[in-house]
Structures are given as structure tokens and as C-alpha cells.
Chain A
Amino acid sequence: MNVLVAVGEFLVLFGSAFYFLSTLGLIRMPDVYTRMQTATKSATLGSLGVIIGAGIWALGDGGSVAWLTKTIIIAVFLLLTNPISAHTLIRAAYKSGIPLWEGSVVDKYREAKARAESGEEEGGEA
């Protein structure tokens, strides 16, 4: 049992815990936007933990460095693309008129759009 294996196992466990929390959030949260937040944030963190953890685990278990290299590439790719996809999904959801949770207090985006009123609907930097 060397250190790398222990670190890898810990990271995988950590990531799986975050996966679980993310799924829990999907069930517990009231509306699309909060659900998207739990789904993307904790699922991204969870995948980073699991993926990099698997690489480190393989390194400690006698696998080649190729594992770690590939897992790092995948992790960076996920880290860069997951927020973009989440942003796009949420923006599309807002634009197609899905309402916020009835308990939410402030909707600056709609206020700004109402103020701009005519044209320039797409101008909003979301």
C-alpha cells in the first residue's frame, strides 16, 4: 500500500461522494436553475476527483504514466467544457421562458431587458 494508491483511492472516494451529493441536489432542488447549479458544480468536481484519482491510483499500482497523462487531459477538457455547456443550457432555459423558483427574490436580467425595452434582445451579456 503505497502513498500514491492511497491518494488515488481517496480522490476517487471524494469524487464519488460529490457525485452522490450532485444527484441528491438534482432531486432536492426546486427549479431548473438551482438544479443545474448542483448538477454542474459538484458533478464537475466529482469527475475531476474520480478521473485524476484513477490516474494516480494506476500510477501507484504499477501502471504506466500514460494513464495519468490521459486522465489529466480528460480532466482539463471536462473542466473547460462543463461550465460552458451549463451556461448554454441555463441561458437557453431562461430564454425559452422557464420560470424561476417562486421563492426567488431578484431577477436583474429581466429588469435590464425591460429597461432596454425595444430591440437588442440578444444584447444581454448573460
Chain B
Amino acid sequence: MVKRLLAILVLLIIGYWLAQGLANVPFGENKMLVGQYYLDHVKEQTGAVNAVTAVVVNYRGFDTLGEVTVLFIASTGVAALLWRRKRKRTAKTKGSVVLTTGTKLLFPFVILFGAYIFIHGHLTPGGGFPGGATIATAFLLLYMAFITYEIPHRGFEATEGLAGMGYVLVGLIGLAIGGYFLLDWVWQTWGFGHENLGRLFSGGFIPIIYTIIGIKVGMELSGIVDNMLKEEVSE
């Protein structure tokens, strides 16, 4: 009881302190410095209509590379923590017929929608990470509905690594062509897509990068799900 009261008291003090700090921040006023630059130049500098993905992939590509690395480490870490020589799925209850049939029907559409999200990252909200998460959801659905389903590991892990290498490779091509790492060579050097801004074939290398990221994130999260669902079997 005393512990809980103390915790509430401390939290209230911290909350008051944060509120005091935020009280001086003028909400709803225009105080963009760098943001105004992004909004003004995003179209002619990157070819993307979606300013968020342009910032994430183009202006601050290093952060995205870091995020992809973090996800990769998370997936590897889960695999390393849960590693056993003999692990199997030990689920015993199969989903009902309605669920399995529905899953079979839905699976391709969920994959399709995930691919749609990451291919259109430069035009619509979304991008590689939501698209990849959607694809992982499709595999989670399979895991939930069927007791024997397992992702094909060999292919999945190879694809994951290749996609990660692809991202770095795209950055290195920028280094070779234009002079610095993660330079948007499709847009800056080739000028590809200059005339059809706002359509699918525009946005410089954002669609390429986001396709790579989407595939990678999808495989990684599916791998994490797979690792967490399996249990050790004693033989």
C-alpha cells in the first residue's frame, strides 16, 4: 500500500514536472525550421510525394539503416536466446474449419496488401516497415490456424540477409556514382521519373529501398514469431 502510494506520488511529481516543461512549448504555431525546407524541396529533390518517407529514406537514410539493423539484431537475438537443438511446434489444437479455410483464402490478399503498402511508400502513407509487418501478420495467421505450419527457414533467412545486403548495396552504388553513401542515384544521377511525379515510377530509389526493407522486415518478424512459437522437445 505504502509502495503504491509512493509510486503514485512520484509519478504525479514527474508528470507535473513534464507538464511544466511542455507549458512553454507553443503548440499550434508555425515553428518549422528544417521542416519548412523539407516541405519546400521534397518534390524536386527526391521525387517523392510522401514527405515522411522522403525524409526517412532520403534525407536521413542512415537512421533507417540503423533501424533495419536494430530489427535484424532483435531477430538474431531472439533466435540466439531461444536456440535449442531440437525444437518443434507443440500445438495440439488445430483451428476450426472456418478458420483454416478463411486463412487459406485471406493469406494471398494480406500478402498482396503488404506488398502494395511497401511498393507505394513514396505515394501513400506507409512504407517498408508497415508493409513488412503486414506480411509478417499473414505468416502469423498461418501459424495460428495450422498446427504443423512452419516457414521454410532456409529460404527465409537467406532472403532476409540478401535484402539487408541489398540496402547497403544500393547505398554503395550511390557512393560509387555520386560520391556519398546512400545518395539517391536513381533520381539525382539518372533523372529517372522526373516527368511523372506522383505516379508509381517516380520517387527515385525510395520504392527500391522500401521493397527491400519490406521484404526484410516481413521475413524478420515472421522469423521472430516462428522462434517464439516453438518449444523444446525432449527425446
Which residues of A come within 8 Å of B, CB atoms? 77, 80-81, 83-84, 87-88, 91, 95, 122, 125-126
Contacts and interface: CB of A to CB of B under 8 A. Distances in A.
Interface of B: 92-99, 102, 105-106, 109
A29 to B, nearest CB: 22
Interface SS of B by simple majority:
helix
Nearest to B94: A122
B93 A122 contact: yes
Ranked nearest first, the 7 interchain pairs of A and B with the lowest CB-CB distance are A84-B102, A87-B98, A126-B96, A88-B99, A91-B96, A84-B98, A122-B93
A87 B106 contact: no
A55 to B, nearest CB: 17
A80 B102 CA distance: 8
Contacts of B97: 125
B106 A125 contact: no
Contact of A80 (B92, B94, B105): B105
Given A88-B96, A122-B93, 9 more contacts: A81-B106, A84-B98, A84-B99, A84-B102, A91-B96, A95-B93, A125-B96, A125-B97, A126-B96
Interface SS of A by simple majority:
helix
Contacts, number: 26
A101 B153 CA distance: 46
A122 B95 CA distance: 9
A80 B96 contact: no
A51 B40 CA distance: 34
B128 to A, nearest CB: 21
Contacts of B99: 84, 87-88
A58 to B, nearest CB: 17
Contacts of A80: 102, 105-106
Contacts of A81: 102, 106
